[in-house]
Amino acid sequence: MKVGIIGYGNMGSSFARALSKVVEVVVYDVSEEKRERALRDGFGVAKGLEFLLEVSNWLLLSVKPKDALGLLSELKGMIGDRLLVSVVAGLSLSKMEELVGGAKLIRTMPNINALVGKATIAFTCGGGVSEEEKEKFIKLFSNCGSLYEIDESLMEAFTALAGSGPAFVFKFVHAMALAGVMEGFSYERARDIVLDTVLGSCELLKELGGNPEEWVVKVTSPGGTTIEGIGVLEERGFVGILMECIKRTSEKSKRLT
């Protein structure tokens, strides 16, 4: 099994690294610098698209949205029986089908956590993908992170929650670290403390389950310290701000699609 990756940028190189643990990966990129980087990273590199197709069983499309349309038109009639997985934001299955003709397509939406093999990835299969191919996709791409099969109509909502989500998490970590500085820690020390707190809290929620709000109550002793902070979050509309943040991000994503 060989996966041909088109576009060796942030996403393409992250997926190449993760997928190469279980399958052979070949790369094609228009940029000579990226092709050289792929070679240095130990991947087979195709000089052109045709050669990449010749040697690949599956394809991963990982170019910017502005480059994807031309590329898909170029691929028209060339894909044959290969399965094409796209990570291109905002590119619908119907648009892809229109451009490449009747191909087996899977639309995905990963996030930047792919850089460390921990992406949160939504996917929707096109009509031509069999159950067996879907299972194979899940097995293979689980090496890149966690997978969520969703209805394509929820792709923009997922983009807001998980695609843009890391930026909101980074803002939260930064804000908490600044607060730590105000209380007397160095920025680096405060950031590490916050990171470990966030990681540990997420692991607790994953491992022990339950509604996050129940855990808030467990941390909050009557008349104690935490309730003082919770009071400020409630007063300033923390939940409402985040809900509005996701809503606006999702709306923008819908306008771009």
Ligand X SMILES: NC(=O)c1ccc[n+]([C@@H]2O[C@H](COP(=O)([O-])OP(=O)(O)OC[C@H]3O[C@@H](n4cnc5c(N)ncnc54)[C@H](OP(=O)(O)O)[C@@H]3O)[C@@H](O)[C@H]2O)c1
Q: How far apart are CA 65 and CA 179, in angstroms?
A: 38
Whose Cβ is closer to ligand X: residue 89's or residue 190's? Answer: 89
Contact flag: residue 156 with ligand X (CB under 6 A): no
* Residues 101-140 contacting ligand X, CB under 6 A: 110-112
Asked if residues 23 and 44 have their Cβ atoms less than 8 Å apart, the reply is no
Contact flag: residue 26 with ligand X (CB under 6 A): no
Contact flag: residue 157 with ligand X (CB under 6 A): no
Contact flag: residue 48 with ligand X (CB under 6 A): no
Longest dimension (CA), the chain: 69
Closest approach of Cβ 12 to ligand X, in Å? Answer: 6
Q: Which of 2, 24, 37, 71 binds ligand X (CB under 6 A)?
A: 71
Q: Which of 26, 45, 62, 122 binds ligand X (CB under 6 A)?
A: 62
Helices and strands of the chain, counted as H and E runs: 12, 8
Instruction: Supply the DSSP string of 51-71, one letter for each residue.
Output: HHHHH-SEEEE-S-HHHHHHH
Contact flag: residue 192 with ligand X (CB under 6 A): no
Q: How far apart are CA 116 and CA 130, in angstroms?
A: 30
Q: Could you tell me the end-to-end alpha-carbon distance of the chain, in angstroms, rounded to an integer?
A: 33
Q: With CB under 6 A, what is the number of residues at the site for ligand X?
A: 25
Q: Which of 2, 20, 22, 30 binds ligand X (CB under 6 A)?
A: 30
Q: Which of 3, 4, 5, 12 binds ligand X (CB under 6 A)?
A: 12
10 Å Cβ neighbour count for 108? 26
**Footprint of ligand X on this chain (CB under 6 A)?**
6-12, 28-31, 34, 62-65, 67, 71, 87-89, 110-112, 163
